[in-house]
């Protein structure tokens, strides 16, 4: 269970700073241990790479927490923390954090991101609704990185409350127009729809509201469970469409419909990606290092006036786009020699 805000600020944030100090002071020992382990473990200097990325993340967290404290003091101890000037300062911090993190992923882990789709200028001048595939814990970082650093957008997003265990994420995203949700099996859908409605109001020209319509990271178990849920609710047609999907889960239309209704003048951007599907645990990350891989992304833009008007038509439209994303992932994985798909 997530601790109260005061405990998170008094314990978790200082704990990260203390852990960073300990890691830096013991760095020679860590490097010697990593080098020793690298001599007999598979991979090219895998322990050293993992140690470096862990130290980098701790360092980014610590610097961010210090900056966030300074912004809080500078805003009058929180008095003007939500003013446009300080909101922009927080977005700049997010930009810097993700830029450094992904630069080091490229340099240390040999990860490259290849992007297909319209260039960034194609999105200028209008608010955006971003509907993205969700295949692992890293893809939300990747999508936000792309939005803030490539497309110069200020994203809004509904996130799971467990992400607040990370002190920097906890502080910075709670100060920006985002919402954390605690999963509630009985009322989760209604809660998400309400929060989506709140966040998708009054989007301006450089805002981007991000939705992961699948509602969680893709796994085969979750895919089957989503199909069963549709059948239980009597959505037989949607369940049959979902059974044809192999790389994505059936989208949950509630939040998407609410966002389309509230932000009716926003263009819609669909985002597909492949390359991070098999990294959902620390063990998966260890197995994949050094990564030496290309993460492929595909962006499609649908102008607001091309979005269907009727609710049922919008649900069919969403499922059709999800089938298109599924086909794109299938094609890219086939090109990379990943297991072929068999449709049910």
pLDDT in tens, 154-207: 999 988 888 999 999 999 999 999 988 876 655 567 778 888 999 999 999 999
**Mean predicted confidence (pLDDT) in 318-334:** 94
At residue 341, the pLDDT reads: 46
In a domain, 127, yes or no: yes
Does 214 have pLDDT greater than 80?
A: yes
In a domain, 342, yes or no: no
More confident residue, 338 or 118: 118
| Model pLDDT, residue 344 | 44
Q: Which of 180-194, 212-226, 286-300 has maximum average pLDDT? A: 212-226
Task: Using pLDDT thresholds of 50, 70 and 90, give the confidence band for residue 342.
Answer: very low
What pLDDT, on the 0 to 100 scale, is given for residue 128? 95
Task: Report pLDDT for 216.
Answer: 79
Instruction: Please say if the pLDDT value at position 29 is more than 60.
Output: yes
Asked whether residue 9 is assigned to any structural domain, the reply reads yes
* 271 within a domain of the structure (yes/no): yes
pLDDT in tens, 50-93: 899 999 999 999 999 999 999 999 999 999 999 999 999 999 99
What's the average model confidence in pLDDT over 269-298?
A: 77
Residue 328 has pLDDT above 80, yes or no: yes
Within a domain: 303: yes
* Structural domain contains residue 267: yes
Answer yes or no: is 223 within a domain: yes
Q: In the predicted model, what is the mean pLDDT of the chain?
A: 89
Domain assignment of residue 344, yes or no = no
Question: Residue 15's domain spans which residues?
Answer: 5-335
Which two three-digit tokens encode residue 238? Answer: 């949607």
Give residue 339's pLDDT band: very low, low, confident or very high (50, 70, 90): low
| pLDDT at 229 exceeding the cut of 90 | no
When mean pLDDT is compared across 33-47, 184-198, 281-295, 328-342, the lowest value belongs to: 281-295
pTM value is 0.91
pLDDT above 70 (res 279): no
Q: Is the pLDDT of residue 343 over 60?
A: no
Percent of the chain with pLDDT over 90: 61
- Weakest mean pLDDT among 62-71, 273-282, 294-303: 273-282
Residue 280 has a pLDDT of 61
Number of domains in the chain: 1
């Amino acid at each position: 269970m997530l601790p109260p805000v005061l405990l998170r600020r008094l314990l978790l944030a200082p704990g990260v700073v203390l852990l960073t100090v300990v890691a830096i002071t013991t760095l020679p020992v860590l490097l010697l241990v990593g080098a020793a382990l690298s001599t007999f473990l598979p991979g090219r200097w895998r322990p050293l790479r993992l140690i470096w990325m862990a130290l980098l993340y701790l360092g980014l967290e610590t610097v961010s927490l210090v900056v966030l404290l300074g912004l809080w003091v500078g805003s009058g101890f929180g008095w003007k923390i939500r003013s446009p000037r300080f909101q922009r300062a927080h977005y700049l911090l997010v930009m810097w954090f993700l830029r450094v993190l992904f630069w080091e992923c490229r340099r240390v882990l040999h990860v490259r991101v290849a992007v297909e789709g319209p260039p960034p200028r194609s999105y200028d001048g209008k608010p955006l609704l971003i509907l993205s595939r969700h295949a692992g814990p890293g893809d939300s970082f990747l999508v936000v990185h792309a939005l803030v650093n490539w497309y110069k957008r200020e994203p809004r997003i509904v996130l799971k409350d467990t992400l607040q265990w990370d002190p920097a994420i906890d502080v910075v995203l709670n100060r920006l127009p985002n919402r954390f949700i605690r999963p509630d099996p009985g009322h989760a859908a209604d809660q998400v729809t309400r929060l989506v409605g709140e966040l998708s109001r009054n989007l301006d020209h450089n805002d981007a509201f991000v939705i992961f319509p699948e509602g969680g990271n893709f796994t085969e178990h979750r895919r089957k469970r989503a199909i069963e849920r549709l059948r239980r609710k009597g959505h037989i047609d949607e369940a049959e469409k979902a059974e044809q999907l192999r790389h994505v889960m059936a989208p949950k239309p509630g939040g998407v419909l609410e966002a389309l209704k509230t932000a009716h003048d926003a263009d819609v951007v669909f985002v597909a990606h492949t390359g991070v599907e098999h990294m959902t645990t620390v063990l998966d990350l260890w197995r994949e290092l050094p990564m030496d891989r290309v993460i492929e992304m595909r962006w499609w833009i649908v102008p607001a006036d091309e979005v269907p008007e009727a609710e049922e038509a919008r649900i069919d439209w969403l499922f059709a786009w999800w089938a298109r994303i599924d086909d794109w992932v299938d094609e890219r994985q086939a090109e990379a020699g990943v297991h072929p798909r068999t449709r049910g």
